[in-house]
Chains A and B, each alone.
Chain A
Amino acid sequence: SYVLTQPPSVSVAPGKTARITCGGNNIGSKSVHWYQQKPGQAPVLVIYYDSDRPSGIPERFSGSNSGNTATLTISRVEAGDEADYYCQVWDSSSDHPGWVFGGGTKLTVL
């Protein structure tokens, strides 16, 4: 089955740029979605189809996807961005397709 690998944690100072990676075999050929989850809350979609941003999500959130790595970039990080972030792809490569999530990355704002 397809595996997505994320770093367990990323730390960044306020106002700086955070980059959260999501690694997978030839992930650049797949569509990647990103979710933000704060403690005790349901996940929220922040980036879809690699780089599209839902309405209501700040322009500070952006995404890219190429080769074996997809990246969620958060510019001018704010304290309110502190959360867990998950990448997601649809795996159609096996005989039983399904959704795959990365293990999640905890973003800490210093």
Chain B
Amino acid sequence: QVQLVESGGGLVKPGGSLRLSCAASGFTFSDYYMSWIRQAPGKGLEWVSYISSSGSTIYYADSVKGRFTISRDNAKNSLYLQMNSLRAEDTAVYYCAREKYSSSSSPFDYWGQGTLVTVSS
């Protein structure tokens, strides 16, 4: 069965860095586009970043552009999010999600359980 398991969250000081990982299993990871989505405590969903199946196409939300870097290792069935220059407003649960089809505007059919990132001094 399809599984997405995030890890790497934790408490970090403002200005610090953190690297999130998403381990995928139960499907051919290299065939699918992936995204990171976050949810601040008590708030709605916010898309963070997208990467195509080969990694050749990448997009970021304006709120993280220049600070976050998405990447993937298809040989390791893993998705990553390198987060630098973290701010208090980056505090959120971070989810990785799989797009159902390898085409633009395809919905997210599987989500991980999320990993909590807290940015605080």
Contact = CB atoms under 8 A, between A and B. Distances in A.
Interface of A: 1, 30-31, 33, 35, 37, 42-45, 48-49, 54, 84, 86, 88-90, 92, 96-104
Interface residues of B, number: 23
Q: Of residues B46, B100, B105, B114, which shows the largest number of chain A Cβ atoms within 10 Å of its Cβ?
A: B105
B112 A101 contact: no
Nearest to A52: B107
A7 B108 CA distance: 23
A31 B47 CA distance: 17
B107 A88 contact: yes
Given A43-B45, A43-B108, A101-B46, 4 more contacts: A37-B45, A43-B95, A45-B108, A88-B45
Contacts of A90: 104-105
Contacts of B114: 42
Given A97-B59, A99-B35, A31 B105 contact: yes
Interface in B15-69: 35, 37, 44-47, 50, 59-62, 65
B113 interface: yes
B59 A98 contact: yes
A83 B27 CA distance: 29
A42 B112 contact: yes
